[in-house]
Amino acid sequence: MTRRVLSMSYTDYDGIVRIIGVVMTLCGTAVLFISGSSRALAESGMASVYAYSGTKTASGERANPDGLTAAHRTLAFGTYVRVTNRRNGRSVTVRINDRGPFVRGRVLDITPAGALSLGFSGLAPVKLELAQD
């Protein structure tokens, strides 16, 4: 297991720019651990609208397309994230309640209600920040 504390921005293989706290590599897989600071995460990439395939999310709650929730690969369930559409500047705060997206280059799956609030359908370039307490 290796541990690196990063406080710089970089562009990884899929063109996503991230500024992160602590990254640990376990068995060849990078795992992101967010520090207690509310400024520990600023992530940019593509967001997509959820395609609901079941009635429950990974957190065990019922999937609600009208709720302001989203899926992220590593953030803890219940984390509030401020999502900003980089095309039009609109933003919304969503709660992480699922895992995903599982498509390379995407950083967030958002409910149709969240996408509507951001002014897009399909895909959009977004910026993620941990919501202020």
Instruction: Read off the pLDDT band of 22 (50, 70, 90).
Output: low
Domain tally for the chain?
Answer: 1
CATH classification at residue 125: 2.40.40.10
101, pLDDT greater than 60: yes
Q: What is the pLDDT of residue 23?
A: 52
Mean pLDDT (whole number) for 50-69: 87
- Cβ-contact 19, 12 below 8 angstroms: no
105: containing domain: 2-130
Half-sphere exposure of 95 (CA within 13 A, CB side): 13
110, pLDDT greater than 50: yes
Instruction: Read off the pLDDT band of 49 (50, 70, 90).
Output: very high
Q: What is the pLDDT of residue 28?
A: 53
Within 8 A by CB and 6+ apart from 116, the residues are: none
